[in-house]
Amino acid sequence: MRVLVTGSSGFIGAALCRALVEAGHSVRAFHRPTSNPRMLQSLPVEHALGDLGHPETLAEAAAGMEVVFHAAAQMGARNQDVDRMYAITVEGTRALLQACRKAGVRRLVHTSSVAALGVPERTRRGVMNAPMDETHTWNYRPEWWAYGYTKYLAEIEVQRAVAEGLDAVIVNPAHVLGAGDVYRQSNSLVVRVAMGRLPVLAEGGLNVVHLQDVVAGHLAALEHGRTGERYILGGENLSIVDLVEKIAAVAGVTPPRVVLPAGLMRSLAVPLGWLEAYLDLPVSAAMFRQAGDFYYYDTAKAQRDLHLPAPRPAEEAIRAAYEWFVSVGAIPAADRQSIV
């Protein structure tokens, strides 16, 4: 098949390109001229330079394509450029969908995020709500999580395109770990823990999924996904404390032991926002408001409908990420802590 991958130089996009090439497909890799092409360098792909903010480049990229994987978005760990995030993630998605319809693309797989599902309902201490599933919808103040809100709005654009006749399916990866995270070499949680740059922990939890399971989920969505449906591509639900301990075990370092109360962490969101430009925070100051929340997900729908096997354990994803960061020098051996 002739396949277009947007965001092809990114973590998920580059891994998708590799899997598609290995499966014998003809791949057109769409990325900005300024993108880091490191993970594409050894692949026999056609490079299409452009930007989600320039619709004319999208029309050229989609021309002649049978399938599109839309893995591009404006990441932005901070909330300072909300306008650009909206222009790229929402308006850029709308422009791509229009280009796909005009080009006669047979099917589009849209890479969203579990962030588009909103935040979990807050629980009383010691009482855990059921993990979120695909029926959960946005329920948070947009200005407090621009990334999640724009991913939610981009999904609405996909649903509108489906209503107008485009065959599209949505996948929602959880917290992805694995080899090749080019753009997070300094700020990945794995790097921070391995290099002792995470002095304290917060209450809460995440769902950690292996990059290769996310890629397999994309390919399965292309083949088995139902038009207009969303599928959570998740792995193992872990508390922040458990996740950091697993990372530390793989890296051979001592994990941080201090866990700050969620209420205290949330109260720091505003003052840290004033100082954010001068601090080395692991996440944006706005994300401190989500301390104590457990971002746990139910992946039963994807496993059932997309015929996916049980996801890999989190340790495999952590080890793949750690070994890759070491291989590229993002975790220099001399900078690692010693076990005490």
Residue 147 to residue 104: CA distance in whole angstroms? 30
φ and ψ at residue 45, rounded to 5 degrees: -115, 160
Active site residue 147: yes
Q: Which of 147, 152, 231, 295 is catalytic?
A: 147
Structure tokens at 279: 């601090």
DSSP state of 180: -
CA 132 centroid distance within chain: 17
Residue 261 to residue 201: CA distance in whole angstroms? 9
Structure tokens at 103: 């080009």
Instruction: Reduce the DSSP state of residue 323 to 3 states and report it.
Output: helix
φ and ψ at residue 275, rounded to 5 degrees: -105, 5
DSSP codes joined into one string, 74-112: ---SSSTTHHHHIIIIIIHHHHHHHHHHHHT-SEEEEE-
> Strands, DSSP E only, in 228-299?
230-233, 236-239, 259-260
Q: How many helices (H) and strands (E) does the chain have?
A: 12, 12
Rounded to a whole number, what is the distance in angstroms from the first to the last CA of the chain?
A: 54
Catalytic residues: 147
